[in-house]
A = this chain, B = another copy of it.
Amino acid sequence: MKPIEECTIGIVGMGLMGGAFAIALRNRCGIAQNNLLACDIDGNALTLAREAGLIAQGWEGARAGEMLARCDVVFLCPGPAALLKFLDEWEHSFKPGALVTDIAGVKGSIAARAEQLRSDIEFIPGHPMAGAEGGGFAAAARCNFQGKNYILTPLSRNKPENLLFLKDLIHRMGFGRITETSPADHDRKIAFTSQLCHVIAASLIDCEADTAITRFGGGSFEDLTRIAVFNAPLWTELFTTNRDALLERIDQFEDSLDAIKGFIRDGKITEMEQRLARVRERRQALDKLP
């Protein structure tokens, strides 16, 4: 692979994450505007990205193949289902040898499809753990990559030098820890750290209609529900695509909740204090992780 500064880079989907990649590639990695291309179903986002000095040229949906044919590196930024559809439609258009990665929040189905791609496409599935409230290209500038986690689920056929190339680019965009794992392990863990937390935040908002109840709060309720500003179709897709792993996590959470509820109901003071002391210890250990 030639140096990244000499690569033509394409971004599929100029929404929140696609826009944030464009900004990071331009501002942090020194990629010239001339070398940055994008396609999107929404021509308006492409115009905005070009006028913002991010991309040289944009292609609307039906002409994505023209862009793909020119790109050495491609970031695929649609959600899981739209991504699979995009690959079916445009697999033949990728430039031979192109390094391709995605951002889908579930990796099992994506990695399985990636294994079936043309052998001259180097697809390395990924998941940047960054986002911003709102969504869409307009929110891209508020999406901060600095120090954030990035997960890769490489295919057995990926070449080590291409993996190194992508990891270097990820670090240069500002991300911190990069973790490599299997698609199944990713999906099990993301079901906990991300999806379960979003289900809980949604449930907490759902069970109380009186928004003025925050007059009685010290901020806990607001903190626990800050992530509840849902892009409803995207999160519905993430929840249902990772159904089995997520349902298992919800069950585990309910078991813990039931145990604590039992301590309260039955006045088990000692058991409650011991449980809360263990929780405190475990929570403090989180913040001491490297």
Which residues of chain B have C-beta atoms less than 8 A from A229's C-beta?
280, 283-284
Instruction: Please tell me if A164 contacts chain B, counting CB pairs below 8 Å.
Output: no
Chain B's nearest CB lies how many Å from the CB of A12?
Answer: 21
Copies in the assembly, this chain: 2
Separation of A208 and B194 alpha carbons in the complex (Å): 13
Asked if residues B213 and A193 are in contact (CB atoms below 8 Å), the reply is yes
Asked if residues B225 and A283 are in contact (CB atoms below 8 Å), the reply is yes
Asked if residues A217 and B193 are in contact (CB atoms below 8 Å), the reply is yes
Asked if residues A228 and B279 are in contact (CB atoms below 8 Å), the reply is yes
Instruction: Please tell me if A149 contacts chain B, counting CB pairs below 8 Å.
Output: yes
Chain B's nearest CB lies how many Å from the CB of A280?
Answer: 5
Separation of A257 and B261 alpha carbons in the complex (Å): 15
Which residues of chain B have C-beta atoms less than 8 A from A276's C-beta?
202, 230, 232, 235-236
Which residues of chain B have C-beta atoms less than 8 A from A204's C-beta?
196-197, 200, 253, 256
Which residues of chain B have C-beta atoms less than 8 A from A255's C-beta?
207
Of B225, B232, B261, B289, the contact of A277 (CB 8 Å cutoff): B232
Which A residues contact B (CB, under 8 angstroms)? 129-131, 148-149, 151, 177, 179, 186, 189-190, 192-194, 196-209, 211-230, 232-233, 235-236, 239-240, 243, 246-247, 249-250, 252-257, 259-261, 263-265, 267, 269, 272-280, 282-287, 289
